[in-house]
Each structure stands twice: as structure tokens, then as C-alpha cells.
A and B are shown apart, each in its own frame.
Chain A
């Protein structure tokens, strides 16, 4: 980058003024030209250096030692200990000593706060001081972080007045048009109807329109044709699948992974959370409510399994071995994903750009410190087959300590860190209220369906026992009967313990314990019978062993028989049921699971408090970050350039007012995402053509379309490519939800791609080729162009088989080749073919028909194959 590029145009006259002053006062003996150069160099080199390396502690936010370095005037003022520089005399300038010294206790930046300045950087400062420390007169101090656009309160901005008012369809366009006019750009015309149709279908439901839908839209004369389609698509359940996948990127959905069979990360059955996301989007659940549930469903809806699915967001972060890494991922991605803050930068030291202190990182961690993960039993299954992985506060008293320089082996145990938020983002108190949980939440074994599961299983074994034949059949039947009775009475005891009065509790407990004894007795009897039976058949050499077994069985039966008659003592226990299984950690160095613990009856309320703070209308970041994510996924480019960082280290957005407008729309419409989708896709901005044709003037001014004068073409996401191919072939399985499709079944599965098992470990090779989402972090999808994609599209079974099926479907309504080719263009690529495109397609069909074995249907299949490889199939125009 050249020096000129960052100099404000008005710089030179100001420098000249400064130069005059310098010369007149004769402060130093440098020539005018040198001072001029030095001043320019201050702006172009010295200031950026100071900004990057010093402002964090000596700028608008903090003035350590009373020193600010963000303008030359401040530098001249010096700090608490006196002057920082002596203009014209580098040797006498303390600042140079401090940056150049080898004494680490004296050196700036301090050790662990930043690398020492390099020799050439020190020289820059020295030369500038030697030149008399010249700077432009009207130098602006660094803005306070409080003035940073995304930290200011959100207010609905006044709409800009624009000349091109007839282009404006809704307020979004007003801001886009305002920038057009400022930059001398004209918007591209609206995309052709067929292009727009394909765009909005793929965008909202992740699948292209069918032949019939295209024909209907093209014939629709209503001025509302487009809006009607948007409403229809937003009400389509496939909308939830499409946008669910987007949010799964942002919220880091991942199926479990580990070494071979050992689960190390995420959780089994985490797909419940995926289904919750899809369903919630389809219901248009408010975004704020979704965040609250994902962070604290266990406190807000502790007894509602449907809602508890949401806390898969936290269950996904489970990491068996290391709590610090686990917590770090939670803090990092709650901050990045919901708040657009890089709090992770403050793990080791104060944030260098944003007003986040190191302690703030640990205050954020403290909200999560108590939580653990467990799997709740669902009706009709054991936790190994199914269950809801979810968060719960398990260790209420675990303290959070600040790690000195982020080093987990150096916790500062002098005091525990309390939950809290960065000062600059605080509005009112963070109100943490412990939550008394309903008993079914902390004693999940008392849930009706858990009891029913046990009873059903016992009934099942009784049924099986009744069918048995053989010498021990009768005894087995008795065991099964005793088992059912014992399960029923245990269930009654558990229920009574929670709901009943003292008498009922007493009675059911007695009954249950007695039934347990009867079961034990029946089992002992079966054992004895088995022992007798085998003794009768045993070979001579094993006789001793069998006799021993018989003796033991006799003894055992005697014991159980005595116990039947014995008094029930206070220490006798009703054997508990399992209503939830803790996801055991291995934080200790024992090679074994850490010790189990009882589920606490209270939850700290910390995560609820955090969720309420994040979703408070006064939080300046949440809504802005949300609308930026939404915009990014509609346009494959965000308004604020880094979706996970709206802080001061990101390049400024040219559209802060538009973001604020969208944020207020979101908040004022009960955080409805569908409202935002509708607003965005019905804007003129969204409806523009992506062509550059006829826009030479724009291209000269803004070649990279930074100011949205045309639509950006988007390379379809991996899942949308695969789903669309199957959908066109008529083979896409519309089943929604359920367990993830295992890797080995994926080649033959026709389910939508979001249902494929997808983890750090296991990824589908076809999807991977097209920039599949990273489960570790995916705030934006890459859109790479690599030859492996071409290989997958030309050679994969998916494409080749689907091509034949698509051809057959089109042939069903298109009899002659001309009709076939036209319809194939329309349906597959969303192109009304030109004469030449038609001719090219027909020519190729003829050529294929000449190839032995490739005529007729096969030739048509080949044409479809090529259209699937057309740039505009994989592209949203």
C-alpha cells in the first residue's frame, strides 16, 4: 500500500501550516523539506506503529502512567513522570530509552504485553523525534471506544433522502442508494424473473423451483407475484432446514467425535438440538428467545424436554479431557457468535483494541463454570440409543480463577472471579438469581416416561418369559413376574416420595423393598434350579465345579428366603432408576472417569442472567451481530466485514446506519427473523442482476462492487449443491429430523445433507470438496474454486446417476429434442436459453446420438450432466 493511500486529501495544506510554524520558531535546524517529510512519515509510519503497539495502554481508553500517545500534542505533554520526548533530541527522550532498553523490567511494551519493537521501528521513532517531532496541526485524538459504532446504543436512524427514489423498494435500498449517489454509481437493473425465482428459492429453502413452479411464476400477472412467493417460501418447512444449516455453521453444530469408540468431543444424539433449531426457525421463534434457550433452557424450562434440546448448544462444547479448553471454546464462541467480540484475545492479557480487560474473559467464563453435560432419558429408549444431551449446573461452587498470562498451570488463587460483563457493555446490574429446580429436573428418574420405560421393559421381558420352554421356564416366568411387580412398586415408591404424604411414602417404600426381595428370591430360585439342571448333565471332570455352584446357589436361596421374612430397616433402599446420565469427564489424571455426583436441586442462574444480558434490547451488539449474520447468508458477504468481530480491530463498515436500521427492525418486530428475511429479499438491492454488462462506469469506480451496485453471484454451499441435484432428480427424501445419517450409509442416502453425520472427524467427501462447514468455526463459508470440485461434478455417482433421472423426468413432458433442451435449461440452470444456447445443446444431443451406445435417453442424460456442470448451476446468479 502506498503512503498516499492513507493520507487524507486535506493533509498537505495542514502540514504546510505546521511547517511554517516550525520554521518561524526555529525550533530545530532541519530544512523545511525534511520537516515536511518527517511529518508525513509520522502520519504514514510512526502513528500506525504507535497505534498498533502503544495505544492500547496509552490512548483514549487507558492512559497508563498518565501518558497518551495518540496525538503528537499528547506525546509532547508527557505523562506522570514528566516528558516523553524532547523534540530534536532523541537521546534525551525517555520514550526511546523505554522501547530500546534490554532491561525487560523497564522495556515497553512490557514483557508478555507485546513483542519488543524492532530496530527499524525504533529508528522510525528516533528519526521523527530528531526531526523535531512534527505532525499535522489539526490532529484528531483516537476516538474513545465508547464512540465506536457497534458499542453505541442502537437507535433507529433517520432515512437518508435519495435522488433515485423510484428505485427504492424499502428502507434498505435508501442506504444502498445513498452510497451509490455518494460514489457516483448507478444500480444494476432487476434480474430476469427466472433468475430471481431461482435465487429466492435457493436462498430461502435451499432447493431450486420445480418446472411447474417456474411456469406458474412466469405466467403470474400479479404485481405481487414475487412477494407472494416469498411468503410461501418462508412458510415452507424446508426454510427451517435451509436456514437451520446456516445457523448450525454459526453455532458450531457437530456430531460427536473422538478416538475410535471413545467420545471426546460433543455428544451423542446431539441431533436433537439440530431439530430444535429447524423447528424453531419454522415457528419463527424470536431470536432472543432462541439465544436464551440455548444458553439456559435448563433453568428457564427445566422440565420441558422439547426446550431442553436447545442446550445442545452447550452440550456440543463438551470436551472430555480438559476443562480449560472446553471453557475457552464456550467463551470464545458465545462472544464471537452472539456478540461479535473477540474475547478470546483477552485470555492472556488485556485486549489490544477493544475495551476488554483480561479479567473480563474470566468473568465471562465464570457464567459457565458450574455447567456440566448430561443426557436425559426420552420415552421408549435407553440413553445409549437416544436421549437429550443438555447442560445443567453440576458443580455449583467451582471457583473461576484468572490464569496469569493465560497459562492454565498458573491460576491466581488469591481470589475467585465472579461472573460479569465488560464495563463498556454494562447497563444496569447483572441480576443473578439462583433457580430452585422442579424435582423432576434434578431427580429425572421420577419423570413419568422414565417410569413407563422401566415398566414397559419389564412387561416386554414377561412376554418373552411366557413364551419360553424348558426345564427352567417356569422359574424364569416367576422371575419376570417378580421383576414387573418390583418395577411397578419401585415406580410407585418414587412417585410417592415426591408427590405423596408420609403414610403413602412409608407404605410404597415398604412395598417396593419387599418386592425387590421377592425378585431376589425368585432369581435365587432360578439360579438353584439351573445349578441342579447342569449338575445332572455335567461331565465327570467338571462335576466338582458344578457341585460348588450348587452349594453357593443353595446358600444364596437360603439367604434370600430369610431376607423375605426379615423386618425392613431404615437403611434399606429402593433401588433407584436412571433418568439421566452424566457425561463423565476425565479431568483428573486417573485414566478413569471423574467421580459421579448427584444432580443439584438448584441451578446458579448465572447463564440465565447472561442470556438476559445478551438479549437485552439495550445490548448494543446482539441485534447488530444477528442482522450482519443474516445479511451475510443472504448475500454471501456481510455488511460489517468480519461477522465475528464488530470491534475496533475490524475495518469499518460503510453501512453502520443500515445495520442499525435492520437491528431496530429485528428488535421492534419481536426479534422475528422471518421479518428480516422478508425485508431483505424484497429489497431492490436483493433483486438486482449480478451481471456487469453495461456497467462500465461503475466498474471503473468500484470494480469489486463494495457498494452493492450489482448482486454478487454466490457459489452454492456444499449441502445446497447435493440437495438440489437429488431434488431435480426427484429422489430427495423429504423426511425431516431424526438421528444423523451415519457416514457409511451416506453414499446411498437421499436425505437432505444437513442430516448427514458431520463432525471434525467424519465428513462426507462430496460435501467436503465444496467447502463444507468447519465444525470448529464457520462464521463465513468459503467459496473456493478448485479443480477437485470439477472432478466431483463430472465424475461422482451422485451427479451421473441423477443426470439420467433428471433427463427422464424432463422427457416425460418434453417430447421432442427442442422442447427437451429448452426445458432442461429452464429447470436445471434457470436460463431461458438463447437461440445459440439451444442450438449448441441440440448439436451436442445429435453428436451423442451418433456415439455407439449413447443415443436416445442416454444422450439426453449427457446433456443434463453437462448442464449440472454449467457454471450457473453451481452459482446463484
Chain B
């Protein structure tokens, strides 16, 4: 026992010096607390220092998540066989073996809600495709602006997941099936692992509506690692970002001075109190945030040309364009992780069980120009090299039709793409079979995307692991080496 106790005292990292060394960034304040609690609990463990584990290629991530399930076949993974065999059941085509029950066994249902079923009758492609850029990547005609960036994209056509309910939204963010419980999302891990690039701004921001199963981020890392929800409204960008009842700047200034003085005076009776020091620092940050946050979502300084690049001048792409312009401004100012939820709430806007053509066509119009504009704008400003942009969705959609004109949920093969952040441009990696059913070449579970992003940020997920929270091999995933430049 005596030995163990010695071990305790000797190995518990000195919280005090840690807080001062870290420059008291957002992450570090939260970390200081973690350290306080868990440093006591586990002797042979130290929390992250905020410094990458190896030299990073990227500094920031813009995470574009399309809620509801994007059809891989009508976006980035053309399957002419669907048109050729349209109306035939899969069993009648040469691809009957795709429905081999053994291959379907990866599915784990949360709710038998009637969706996510096998849809047998092949549904033809609802949109045309062309090759784009020097790379000649095939992209559907609904995405002309993204297509204009083809040579910057690394398209991964061989994703798979296991939850065919929309809880897969949470699974895509955390890597875990909902039946396993709730786990930290990728953004929370990044926030936990990396120090701040700008102490005037939260380092993990979320924009857009989220459904309940996908509402939070920190979980066992703590609520301090939840994303801070941001609204694109300079007058009300954050909860509590300005006084509910107006107070004159002069009176605020008097108050601030008094608070500083009183905390200092209290410090005479309670010297070197780390919690008090952290709190004082948090007030300083909050004060700076009050001006820095509205500034980020105020586009007065942006040119008309830039706004139009993002489609802000068109009604159908205005909202998403503003979110992405704000994202660029956040990246510029050193925010680590910007999580954007498009079409969030309920099952998600992309969930085209019927009327797929109309639905996907309309949503593509809303997101295409903003995304194309974002990539172009980042590249022009030299930010794309250090910013990793990812376009993703919880799963794909069935090659077969649901009803007369929809596609159902599909977990066995779907597409994501990434750009920037030290990845290759103009590459396609992995493939589904000829009807887009199963990922067959270079298959990747969702955590491989996480591993790729963490790798580019210089983080090793194993070194971030928390004692008592054993992660599985599959939770860590493997970086997709083939798309890393």
C-alpha cells in the first residue's frame, strides 16, 4: 500500500504548472479539470498536452455532414448497371450474390422501423454523370460547382457502417453503434487532444440542427468537449453572448475592473488557487469572445464576389453559403473543428424514401455552390493545405427502389470525399460492386475516416485513450494511406 501511495503522489501531474504552461486556452481549461479529477484516479496516466503526437499536416477540419443519407449512386459513384437493369429484381441480374445473407450480416438494427430493408427492384440512375478536371473523376450533374473542384477531391467510394437506422448519424460521428451506448465524437477527441490556436474563440463549433441521438459530443470526455453551437446571426451568435438587459459599455467596464480587483483581493486569502486562476482566465476569454464571435458571423468585410462565390446571392443556397463562409472565417481565425449539419432534425433532409430525384436535386442545389465556393476560397487564400474538408453522410441509399421513386437506407457501401489538409487531390479510392451495393475494394468502416483526419492533425487516437474507457481496435480505425499525399 505504501508503495502504491508513493506512486500516486509522484506520478500525478502537477496541475498548477500545467495550467500556467498551457496558456489557458479553451481546451486546456477543460483539460485542467480532467486532470484534477482523473489524475487522482489513475496513477500511470497523463492527459494530452495539447501538442500533436507527430508533425501535423492539417490544423483545422470542416466537417460537412448531410443528414438523412446521401445516395452514392446519384452523387459520386456512378452505376450505369442500375439503368441497364432498371426494374429487374436483383435476383434476376448477374449481381444476385450481393444479397447473400452472409454479406448482409454486418447489419445491426436499433429500431425495426420498416426502413433499411432490402429493396429488390433496381432503380435507374436519376441523374447524368460527366468526367471532370484532369483527374476525370465522375461526378453527377447535380453538383457542377463541386465538380469544378474535382482535382482537389479524394473520393472514397468504399465506406460501410452497421446501423441502418438514422442513429447511424451518431455512429458516423463517434464510430460506435447506438446499441453500444454514447461515445465521444471525432470533434470532441480533436478538441480534447489539441491545444488552442486562438484563445478568443471556442475551438469546436457546431452549426445546424442535430437530432437527439446526435446532439452531443463530449460524453465521457465531459461536457466541456461538446461543440459550442453557433448561429449565423451577428446579433445573437451564441447563448448568453450579450446582456439580456442592455448595460452601457462604461458600466460594463467598471464592473469588469471591480471583478478583477475583488478576485485579486480574495487571492490574498486564498493564494495560488488554481480554480480561481482558471476562472479569472475564463472571464478574460469570455470578454474577448463577446467581440470576436459576432465579428466572425458579420460578413460586412467580405466582398460581393466572395459572397457570390458561396452562392449567398441566391435564395436556394444563401443559408448554407453563409454557414460555409462563416466556416472559412472560423478556420482563418484558428478554430480547430467546425461541424456542420446540413438538413438536420428528425431523420434528416436527405432521407429520400420517395421522390428522390426531386429531393436530392433540390438539396444539391442548396449545398453545391457553397461547397464548391468554400474549396475555391480556401485554396485561393492558401488555407486548403492546412484545412481538411470532408463531405459525408450516415449511410448511402439502396440500389433498389423503395415505392416507385425512392431509395431506402443502405449501409453496405457508400461514398465520402475529403479535400485539403495534406490529402491527395483528384483521386478515387475504393469501389463498390457494379450496382453500388457492397463496398468491395479497399473497404473502410467509418472510423477509418476518423483515423485519417486524426493522422493529418498529428494525433494518435491510442495516446488519447482514457483509463477505464477501453476502446476497441475498430474504434481507432486505420488511416486511409492511399489518399494521403
- A residues sitting closer than 8 Å to B (CB atoms) are 1, 5-6, 8, 48, 115, 257-260, 320-322, 324-325, 342, 345, 408-409, 586, 588-591, 637, 641-642, 645, 649-652, 654, 690-693, 699, 702-704, 706, 713, 715, 760-761, 765-766, 768-769, 771-772, 774, 776-777, 780, 782-792, 794-797, 800-801, 831, 834, 836-837, 840-841, 843-844, 847-848, 851-854, 862-863, 865-867, 869-872, 874-875, 877
Contact = CB atoms under 8 A, between A and B. Distances in A.
A408 B178 CA distance: 13
Nearest to B472: A115
Nearest to B280: A871
A95 B56 CA distance: 39
Contacts of A115: 473
A32 to B, nearest CB: 26
Contacts of A699: 272
A386 B473 CA distance: 47
Nearest to A780: B37
Contact of A871 (B1, B182, B239, B276): B276
B262 interface: yes
Contact of B40 (A637, A692, A836): A637
Interface in B206-238: 211-212, 215, 219-220, 222-224, 228, 238
Interface in B248-300: 248, 250-251, 254-255, 257-259, 261-263, 265-266, 269-273, 275-276, 278-283, 285-287, 289-290
A780 B109 CA distance: 32
Contacts of B240: 765-766, 769, 788, 791-792, 794-796
B94 interface: no
A789 B285 CA distance: 11
B42 interface: yes
B382 interface: no
Interface stretch (B27-35, B64-72, B144-152, B311-319): B27-35
Contact of B39 (A6, A408, A704, A790): A704
B254 A761 contact: no
B270 A321 contact: no
Interface in B446-465: none
A691 B269 contact: yes
Contacts of A704: 12, 14-15, 36, 39-40
B40 A321 contact: no
B41 interface: yes
A844 B211 contact: no
A699 B241 CA distance: 39
Do most interface residues of chain B lie in helix, strand or loop, or is the interface mixed?
Answer: helix
Contacts of B261: 840
A69 B212 CA distance: 48
14 contacts: A5-B11, A325-B179, A637-B40, A651-B4, A692-B273, A704-B12, A704-B15, A780-B37, A782-B223, A787-B286, A790-B286, A791-B241, A795-B244, A837-B265
Given A641-B40, A862-B254, A871-B263, A787 B212 contact: no
B40 A713 contact: no
Given A259-B212, A848-B251, A787 B258 contact: no
10 A-B pairs with the lowest CB-CB distances in the bound complex, closest first? A589-B112, A790-B286, A797-B244, A784-B224, A787-B286, A641-B41, A787-B285, A844-B258, A321-B111, A791-B240
Contacts of B282: 785-787, 789-790
A423 to B, nearest CB: 24
A654 B5 CA distance: 7
B275 A875 contact: yes
B443 to A, nearest CB: 20
Interface in B1-16: 1, 3-5, 7-12, 14-16
B26 A693 contact: no
B242 interface: yes
Nearest to A801: B245
A5 B10 contact: yes
Contacts of B12: 704, 706
Given A782-B222, A788-B228, A794-B286, A715 B7 contact: no
B254 A591 contact: no
Contacts of B241: 791, 795
B346 interface: yes
A837 B308 CA distance: 56
A782 B273 CA distance: 18
Given A784-B33, A796-B240, A872 B266 contact: yes
Contacts of B42: 641, 651
Nearest to A804: B245
Contacts of A321: 110-112
Contact of A847 (B10, B46, B254, B285): B254
A5 B45 CA distance: 13
Given A760-B212, A790-B287, A831-B266, 12 more contacts: A1-B43, A5-B7, A589-B109, A591-B114, A654-B8, A771-B223, A785-B278, A791-B290, A794-B240, A797-B244, A853-B248, A875-B276
B252 to A, nearest CB: 8
B97 interface: no
A645 B212 CA distance: 29
B100 interface: no
B289 to A, nearest CB: 6
A260 to B, nearest CB: 7
B305 interface: no
B3 A871 contact: no
B286 A782 contact: no
A702 B182 CA distance: 36
Contacts of B5: 652, 654
A536 to B, nearest CB: 47
B266 A871 contact: yes
Contact of B223 (A345, A713, A715, A768): A768
A837 B42 CA distance: 41
Contact of B224 (A260, A652, A786, A862): A786
Interface in B58-91: none
B302 interface: no
Contacts of B222: 771, 782, 784
A874 B275 CA distance: 11
- Interface-central residue, A320, A651, A699, A840, by most chain B CB under 10 Å: A651
